[in-house]
Amino acid sequence: MSHETIMKFLNKANELNLQAQQMEKMGSYELAKNIYIEAAEVLNQLAKIAPKSPQLSSWLATAEKYIKRAQAIADGTVFEENEAIKVKGGDLSKVDCGSVGERYDPENNKLNFEKLAGLKKIKDILHRAIEWSLKYPEKMQEHGLESTKGILLVGPPGCGKTYLVKCTAGEFGVKLLIASPATTYNKYVGETSKAVKKIFQCGAKLAPSIVFIDEIDKLLPDPSRTSDSSGVGGQALSTFQQEMDGAQSGTGFIVLMATNDPELLHPALARTGRVSYRIYVPPPDEETRAAIFKIHLTAKKLVLSEEINFEHLAELTKPEDGWYYSGSDIEEMCRRAKENRFGKIIASDEQKDDLPLTLEMIHEAISSVKRSISPRMIQRYESWASKNAS
């Protein structure tokens, strides 16, 4: 069975599910029920013709979910449930998002696109993908567009994936919840499905919001690539797929994920239809490097010597033999140069604030930091991007 054929079935089921949800929202319950049944039939048919697929259990589980929904409509429980959704804030108030991740509220998030150097194309995509979906979900639907479901960011370490998400939340003035191995996954060892459910509940609770699952390869590695024989990984993956598929348009939150190891992800996790955009976040190019220097060499009392020119600094940090500096390498250079200057101010008798940061200080800092991105890494990411990136 070809990949294209499978995709056709999955897209069809997905489309029907969305239609059914729409009908339900409009109160056309009888029609919604029939469309849910049709969506389940498409998946059951797919399961029959591709019984050996590793995704079989997830298709069957989704089909079952659609049937349950149809049944709930038939026996009337859906009306009570829909009432409950209306008071979602109340229902979700018991969910403790503090245990799920680090939370950033727009009032305390000082980052925005101005603080994010370069990456123009990515900013454009995010404008479309996030701002439109959070602000105009209904209008989009009226114009035949689906709201963004999820966005996967892929790229080498230190090139701004996490930082870019924080800037995005600040730019659009929405809440952000960051789930990562440090804040979340360690607390839910052996209970990944529960963690996944909570992450989605918190997205809904905090709406309008962005939920960022950082290092998603650690939360949901492809079970066939790990030594996990407990089935916990497979179960968590299928919970995630269901939650993503169920995250209907207009729910007011968008799931962003990041990895620097896309090969470790299960193909179904980031397939079209489940994730709307797959974005490659590359090492900074010349213009971006200049802008990163500018951002990190700007402060109220930071005086720069006149000989400093950001374009020149970008030129000094260009790739060499295929090795690139990352954004965090450049940030580190700036930190070292500023520290050098500050040390001199503190050590001097007058402690004069106007001591300039010199080109020599920067040269010294640049030569003390090694390029952290290797040609092999670049080749791996570019090959992924050419096959997968939006």
Binding to ligand ATP (CB under 6 A) within 27-86 occurs at none
DSSP reduced 3-state for 69: helix
CA triple 258-219-213, angle to 5 deg = 35
Q: Does 122 bind ligand ATP (CB under 6 A)?
A: no
The listed partner (ligand ATP, Mg ion, none) that binds 55, CB under 5 to 8 Å by sort, is: none
Per-position x/- string for 272-311, each x denoting binding to ligand ATP as judged by CB under 6 A, each - no binding: ------------x---x---x--x----------------
Binding to ligand ATP (CB under 6 A) within 306-365 occurs at 327-328, 331
Those residues with Cβ within 8 angstroms of residue 371's Cβ, 6 or more apart along the chain or in another chain: 319, 320, 323, 324, 325, 329
Residue closer to ligand ATP, measured from CB, 140 or 308 = 308
Q: Does 260 bind ligand ATP (CB under 6 A)?
A: yes
Q: SS3 letters for 281-329?
A: CCCCCHHHHHHHHHHHCCCCCCCECCCCCHHHHHHHCCCECCEECCHHH
Residue closer to Mg ion, measured from CB, 155 or 234 = 155
Q: Is the peptide bond before 208 cis (omega within 30 degrees of 0)?
A: yes
Residue closer to Mg ion, measured from CB, 37 or 275 = 275
Report the residue number whose CB is nearest to ligand ATP. Answer: 327
- Distance, in Å, from the CA atom of 206 to the CA atom of 97, rounded to the nearest integer, reads 9
Report the residue number whose CB is nearest to Mg ion. Answer: 162
- Helix (H) / strand (E) containing 258: strand 253-259
Those residues with Cβ within 8 angstroms of residue 343's Cβ, 6 or more apart along the chain or in another chain: none
**Judged by CB under 6 A, which of 13, 47, 78, 119 binds ligand ATP?**
119
Token readout for 102 is: 């680090």
Residue closer to ligand ATP, measured from CB, 209 or 326 = 326
- AA identity, residue 325: Y
**Judged by CB under 6 A, which of 137, 150, 160, 208 binds ligand ATP?**
160
Q: Does 116 bind ligand ATP (CB under 6 A)?
A: yes
Per-position x/- string for 143-172, each x denoting binding to Mg ion as judged by CB under 5 A, each - no binding: ------------------xx----------
- Distance, in Å, from the CA atom of 194 to the CA atom of 201, rounded to the nearest integer, reads 10
Residue closer to Mg ion, measured from CB, 153 or 304 = 153
Per-position x/- string for 136-155, each x denoting binding to ligand ATP as judged by CB under 6 A, each - no binding: -------------------x
Length of the chain: 390
Token readout for 307 is: 């000989």
Q: Please give the residue ranges that form the binding site for Mg ion (CB under 5 A).
A: 161-162
Site residues for ligand ATP per CB under 6 A = 116-119, 155, 157-163, 260, 284, 288, 292, 295, 327-328, 331
